Structure 1
């Protein structure tokens, strides 16, 4: 299991190790020019007219990985800003955005909507290019309404990925040990994993530092929502409306990879079916890492018949993931349920009922103890 095969960096994990290009080739200058003014165009209700007036551009000149990722980043944000950037949603995306977006997304195996990879994994640039990537040396490339709260929400989410990066080689080693190592070697790898989960948990809590819950709920969350009924028509592509879920941390490969390694099974209802669905929103190589790990791991089988020490190491690893999920539930409550006018809005950006989905995932984790 070679991490580079899955586009995983030993330092930054699922986050690309270098920032995207600061601009696209000259033919796409009109797209780049919208980035600094996107929030002003949304605020003034001019964005839709500007996007409709864009020329139809052929994406064929976009050949490098960086250029293609930047183009997908911009187009997915343009799409969400168009749909949600008015007094009412507009469910007909103009061809100038829809055609290149759908073409590029299909080629890259990704959905034509803003999703976790484009809001979080690639949406960053270095503040000081001479210093390494960290949450204190990064800001988002493109924002909807802008402001420190939106910027920090996505940068801090990337920080969770960075904190989890050292655990990805541990996952690969744990899977290897589950197939060919001793109980002691497997237990040691699980202990290393449990110890590293502390940093991942701490990174999650950092979301609160610079992102106010009410600001997130009112000004950030609406723009990453999925398409409402009956769906969005991608003009120039198809007149059949598409229903797509919104950007969500569930689309991250990180926690799904940890579950796969440990053999945690989520029943179809309420969590399992959704977690499998959102794998389609992951970059294809990241999704392959999760699925290959799920196929190759023997951790749970070994633990069931293993030593007391091995079982203890496994249960401790599960407890650390359960604690992370518990913190995630508290965060979802504070940032979605509490700020809602009724106090009863428990639907996340991915369209799931938060209490059922997050609670179900938490129960599956604790129920996996041996």
Structure 2
């Protein structure tokens, strides 16, 4: 499983090794001009009229991969801001956003709404261009309302991806050696995986450092929520409302890849059905990595019939994923359930009931033990 084939960098993983451009070709200058004023336009309740006044621009001059990613980043944020910037959601997106957004999303195999890949994987620029990307050397390219809490939430989420990047070659080797290697080789790789998960877990906890739960709940979360019933009309594209899921960590290929390689099966509802559905929100090559690993791995089967050491190491690796999911459940409680003042099974930005989804995903993980 060659990492380059899946657009995976050996150092930064699913995060691109270099930032995408911070400016588009001149024909799209009106889009770039909106970025520094987006939060002010939302606050002044002028964003919707501003977007509706823009001309429809053809995407033909967007040629490079970096420009395509930046255009998708801006247009998805404009779309979400348009829908959620008032007292009630606006269920039509004007043609100046809808037409180029849908054309670009279709070309890139992505969804025309702000999703994890746009809010987290590519939404960063370097603070110091002479230093490598890290959570301490990056800031977001675009924000909705702005502020350190919003900036840090997405940068810290990117930090989870960076922490998991060293495990991607390990996963590729796990899948390969599950078919060709010895029990000793598999055991060593699983030990390496379990040790690396400590950094992933620590990166998740780092979200708390600069992002206040109440601020996230009131000023960040609403803008990355999916479309409400009956859906949103993309004017100039279709008169039929479309519904898309909101951006969430469930759309990350990282944990889904770990599950796939270790043969963790999420067959329950809603966890299994949701995790399969959100693969459509991943960049196509990242999705292919997950699906190829899921198809080819024999790690669990090898552990079932392997040495006692292999079985114990496999179960220990599973436990690190379960521990990560426990931490995710605590984070969801602190950042969504508690600020809401509710004890109900609150919904996350992806539209799933949090307790049911996260609890179900954890049970599937521990149920895979041999």
Is the structural similarity TM-score above 0.5? yes
SS at match of 1:206: helix
Q: Please list the CA deviations of residues 339-369 of structure 1 after superposition, one character each: whole Å capped at 9, or x if unmatched.
A: 0033436100000000000000000001111
Q: What is the aligned partner in structure 2 of residue 260 from structure 1?
A: 260
Q: Please list the CA deviations of residues 41-71 of structure 1 after superposition, one character each: whole Å capped at 9, or x if unmatched.
A: 0000000011001111000110100000000
Where structure 2 has 5 or more consecutive residues not aligned to the other structure, the ranges are: none
Within 5 Å, give how 1:1-370 maps onto structure 2: 1-344=1-344, 346-370=346-370
CA distance in 2, matches of 1:31, 1:180: 51
CA distance in 1, matches of 2:197, 2:161: 11
Where structure 1 has 5 or more consecutive residues not aligned to the other structure, the ranges are: none
Pairwise CA distance, 1:118:
0.3
SS at match of 1:35: helix
CA distance in 1, matches of 2:310, 2:184: 7
TM-score (norm 2): 0.99
Check the 8 A contact 1:20/1:125 in 2, yes or no.
Answer: yes
Pairwise CA distance, 1:270:
2.6
CA distance in 2, matches of 1:176, 1:88: 51
CA distance in 1, matches of 2:270, 2:126: 39
Q: Please list the CA deviations of residues 79-124 of structure 1 after superposition, one character each: whole Å capped at 9, or x if unmatched.
A: 0000001111100100000000000000100000000000000000
CA distance in 1, matches of 2:342, 2:355: 16
SS at match of 1:366: helix
CA distance in 1, matches of 2:91, 2:343: 28
TM-score (norm 1): 0.99
CA distance in 2, matches of 1:298, 1:89: 47
Q: How many residues align?
A: 370
Check the 8 A contact 1:336/1:345 in 2, yes or no.
Answer: no
CA distance in 2, matches of 1:343, 1:365: 25
CA distance in 2, matches of 1:262, 1:340: 35
Check the 8 A contact 2:345/2:356 in 1, yes or no.
Answer: no
CA distance in 2, matches of 1:61, 1:98: 17
CA distance in 2, matches of 1:62, 1:15: 21
CA distance in 2, matches of 1:93, 1:75: 11
Pairwise CA distance, 1:26:
0.4
Pairwise CA distance, 1:170:
0.2
Check the 8 A contact 1:73/1:123 in 2, yes or no.
Answer: yes
Pairwise CA distance, 1:255:
0.3
Question: Hey, which bits of structure 1, 4+ residues long, moved more than 4 A?
Answer: none
Check the 8 A contact 1:231/1:242 in 2, yes or no.
Answer: yes
Q: Please list the CA deviations of residues 309-358 of structure 1 after superposition, one character each: whole Å capped at 9, or x if unmatched.
A: 00011001000000000000000000000000334361000000000000
CA distance in 2, matches of 1:340, 1:96: 35
C-alpha RMSD of matched pairs (Å): 0.7
Check the 8 A contact 1:21/1:67 in 2, yes or no.
Answer: yes
